[in-house]
A and B are shown apart, each in its own frame.
Chain A
Amino acid sequence: MIRIAVRSALGSLLAAIVGVLAVAVVSIRWVFPQVVPDEFSLDLAARTLRSPSTHDALVSGTVLSIAVTLIALTLAWPAARALARSSGGGQGLVVAIMFLPSIVPSVGLAMGISVGLLNLGVDGSMGAVILAHLVPAVPYAVAILTATLMRYDHRLDLQAATLGATPLQVLRHVTLPQIRAGLVAAAALTFVVSWSQYLLTLLAGSGRVITPTMLLFNATAGGNPVVIATLALLVTVPVIVLVSFASGSPENGSDDGRVST
């Protein structure tokens, strides 16, 4: 009973949001107390989407987030593997370091990172923003990958080795296919982490790197509701799609933990 209530609460909230935004997107004038706007047009929405600034932001944002994802996963992989296998005390230290970005207040973190990049002389560039995004992205990727690898029985690798496979063959034919779902989840969610950033992008990029999320933030300062809604959907729809990919994997706790009697 309660479960249904909670699910419908969250569900209807999300549905309302998407719905409202979608309607806003297509409305011309939508004032109180109209529940449904009396005039519709896709005109402004289309223009917003077609505009060069939107295009540029979309390209920048996508390239940025893909780069961050790839680098984060590459760095995270060996670490996750080590963490999944070991149970030693050194693991605690690494985990503690990993938690650091989530404990440090994001304002302070963003300011400090941007200052650090300034010192390195790279601020304002795409590279700087990528580096900045890695700080929250890498721990996230490590966490998800570690969870994935912990579920993976690495004795399968040993089996393959005894059957004559080289380490590379083991990786390609045994390990990766098994953990594919977890890898997809890690990639998707890491992308989302980067895609969602506002403050880090703003400070590290010195305002020169524009992503759709930043466009949205700027638009809220007195922009046209239709434009705001369009940009909001532009930012949100990829997230919904990627999260759907990620939710398919068992890492997200869809174990039912059955009590077997």
Chain B
Amino acid sequence: MSNVSVEGLTHRYHPRGEAMLEDVSFNVPDGSITCLLGPSGSGKSTILGCIAGLHKPSAGTVLVDGVDLAPIPTHRRPVTLLMQNAQLFAHMTVAQNVEFGLKVRRVSPRTRRHRSVELLDMVGLGGFAGRDPGQLSGGEQQRVALARALATEPAVLLADEPLGNLDPPVRRDLQRQLVEINRSTGTTVLFVTHDVTEALAISDQLVVIDGGRVQSSGIPGELLRRPGTRSVADLLGVGNVLTGRIEGDFLDAAAGRFRVDPAHALPTQASTTDGDRHWVIHPDHVHVVDACDADASTPTTNAVSGIAVASRLIGTRVELCVAVGSYQLTAVVASELCPPLGATVTVRLPTAQLYEVRP
């Protein structure tokens, strides 16, 4: 159970073309799974590299349990790294791979063997000890890599998109396994991914990185409601951005006039009252009213009417695009309740679900 504290991490010089980082700060609570989420090239892998000691940051500190990692060389840091390519040692068996971290710490062969058996069982590869890594599937290799990374009981497990190369069912399996292991062993995990679904599925805390900076951070559920910025909103799929001026308790946007909750506004934006403000609502919260109530368009109910122009199946639900004038709102409905394309629909945007974001 360890916490990680990253403070002002900046990385400017990139001899190998790593992404730049600018003043990145965040905390990873004890025993949590924290996800660094962001598009490719946003710098999330560079952050892991700095924590592991593979890159030297231009500025900033990394603390694990209050200890500054800067003077500590990579091989003595209390962190291990799981990468997209399992990187198993081809000249060793599965068990020898798992035991490697213990071997270099001069742990006795007996203890090592015991531990590797234990770990292989934990990742569901019970009888695989003597196998040749080349014979394993992608998912199996990653599980061995996971066992190997956990063998030395690191304070923090760093994972750089380890599930990116795997088929969806295998991926889901491993996600579940990772969460289980985190619960049972209490190992803190810092997980990098660009897959929003994955991040939302496994993380206790989300940190969104883009352009080398922290854009937003928080609990997944919270971030979905309050993305904080437009780019984070886009990234998380909170696509309904209403832009307009605030008059009293109302937002005058292209799609209509909506009542908003002042508590959901951003104080920093309030100072620039003359400019455009941006509010978002998650498609899940956009309520599709039965088409019969076509004439209710009063501001108090935040309802507007438009034409259903496109739909997309997501699992058992449908993502529906409703054109309100020149603006398109996205809503999610159960597929059996989905109105036909071209029909007039009324959608309601509940005040309680509208949140302001920075541009």
Q: Is A258 an interface position by the 8 A CB rule?
A: yes
**Chain A positions 196-218 with a Cβ under 8 Å from a chain B Cβ:** none
A258 to B55, CA, bound (A): 13
**Chain A positions 233-261 with a Cβ under 8 Å from a chain B Cβ:** 258-261
**Chain B positions 99-137 with a Cβ under 8 Å from a chain A Cβ:** none
A103 to B213, CA, bound (A): 58
Chain A residues within an 8 Å CB radius of B160 = 261
Q: How far is the CB of B165 from chain A (nearest CB, A)?
A: 13
Q: Is B45 an interface position by the 8 A CB rule?
A: yes
A261 to B41, CA, bound (A): 11
Given pairs A260-B45, A261-B55, 13 additional interface contacts (CB within 8 A):
A258-B16, A258-B17, A259-B16, A259-B54, A261-B18, A261-B45, A261-B46, A261-B48, A261-B49, A261-B52, A261-B54, A261-B83, A261-B160
Chain A residues within an 8 Å CB radius of B83 = 261
Chain B residues within an 8 Å CB radius of A261 = 18, 45-46, 48-49, 52, 54-55, 83, 160
A260 to B16, CA, bound (A): 9
0/1 interface trace, chain B 22-51, chain A, CB 8 Å (1 if under): 000000000000000000000001101100
**Chain A positions 59-94 with a Cβ under 8 Å from a chain B Cβ:** none
How many residues of B sit at the interface, in one of the four size bands? 10 to 19
Q: How far is the CB of B92 from chain A (nearest CB, A)?
A: 20
A259 to B18, CA, bound (A): 10
CB-defined A-B contacts under 8 Å, sample of 5: A258-B16, A259-B54, A261-B48, A261-B52, A261-B55
Most buried by B among A258, A259, A260: A260
Chain A residue, CB-CB nearest to B47: A261
Chain B residues within an 8 Å CB radius of A259 = 16, 54
Chain A residues within an 8 Å CB radius of B54 = 259, 261
0/1 interface trace, chain B 53-66, chain A, CB 8 Å (1 if under): 01100000000000
A interface, over-half SS: loop
A261 to B162, CA, bound (A): 11
Give me the interface of B with A, judged by CB distance under 8 Å: 16-18, 45-46, 48-49, 52, 54-55, 83, 160
A260 to B14, CA, bound (A): 12
A260 to B41, CA, bound (A): 11
Chain A residues within an 8 Å CB radius of B55 = 261
A258 to B45, CA, bound (A): 14
Chain B residues within an 8 Å CB radius of A258 = 16-17
Chain A residues within an 8 Å CB radius of B18 = 261
Chain A residue, CB-CB nearest to B192: A261
A4 to B319, CA, bound (A): 61
Most buried by B among A258, A259, A261: A261
Chain A residues within an 8 Å CB radius of B52 = 261
Q: How far is the CB of A255 from chain B (nearest CB, A)?
A: 13
Q: How far is the CB of B337 from chain A (nearest CB, A)?
A: 46
Query: Closest 3 CB pairs between A and B?
Result: A261-B49, A261-B45, A258-B16
A261 to B49, CA, bound (A): 6
A258 to B83, CA, bound (A): 14
Q: How far is the CB of B21 from chain A (nearest CB, A)?
A: 12
A258 to B18, CA, bound (A): 10
A91 to B347, CA, bound (A): 68
Q: How far is the CB of B190 from chain A (nearest CB, A)?
A: 13
Q: How far is the CB of A140 from chain B (nearest CB, A)?
A: 28
Q: How far is the CB of B329 from chain A (nearest CB, A)?
A: 40
A258 to B15, CA, bound (A): 11
A259 to B16, CA, bound (A): 9
A31 to B49, CA, bound (A): 59
A112 to B143, CA, bound (A): 56
A259 to B55, CA, bound (A): 11
A259 to B85, CA, bound (A): 11
Chain B residue, CB-CB nearest to A256: B16
A259 to B17, CA, bound (A): 11
Chain B residues within an 8 Å CB radius of A260 = 45
A261 to B48, CA, bound (A): 8
A260 to B48, CA, bound (A): 11
Q: How far is the CB of A109 from chain B (nearest CB, A)?
A: 34
Chain A residue, CB-CB nearest to B87: A259
A72 to B28, CA, bound (A): 62
Q: How far is the CB of A256 from chain B (nearest CB, A)?
A: 8
Q: How far is the CB of B149 from chain A (nearest CB, A)?
A: 15
A258 to B16, CA, bound (A): 7
**Chain A positions 30-69 with a Cβ under 8 Å from a chain B Cβ:** none
Q: How far is the CB of B202 from chain A (nearest CB, A)?
A: 21
A245 to B48, CA, bound (A): 41
Q: How far is the CB of A196 from chain B (nearest CB, A)?
A: 36
A150 to B97, CA, bound (A): 29
0/1 interface trace, chain A 210-232, chain B, CB 8 Å (1 if under): 00000000000000000000000
Chain A residues within an 8 Å CB radius of B16 = 258-259
Q: How far is the CB of A205 from chain B (nearest CB, A)?
A: 47
Chain B residue, CB-CB nearest to A259: B54
Chain A residues within an 8 Å CB radius of B46 = 261
Q: How far is the CB of A254 from chain B (nearest CB, A)?
A: 15
Chain A residues within an 8 Å CB radius of B49 = 261
Q: How far is the CB of A260 from chain B (nearest CB, A)?
A: 7
A259 to B83, CA, bound (A): 11
A261 to B55, CA, bound (A): 9
Chain A residue, CB-CB nearest to B50: A261
Q: How far is the CB of A87 from chain B (nearest CB, A)?
A: 13
A261 to B50, CA, bound (A): 10
A260 to B49, CA, bound (A): 9
A248 to B17, CA, bound (A): 22
Chain B residue, CB-CB nearest to A258: B16
Q: How far is the CB of B176 from chain A (nearest CB, A)?
A: 26
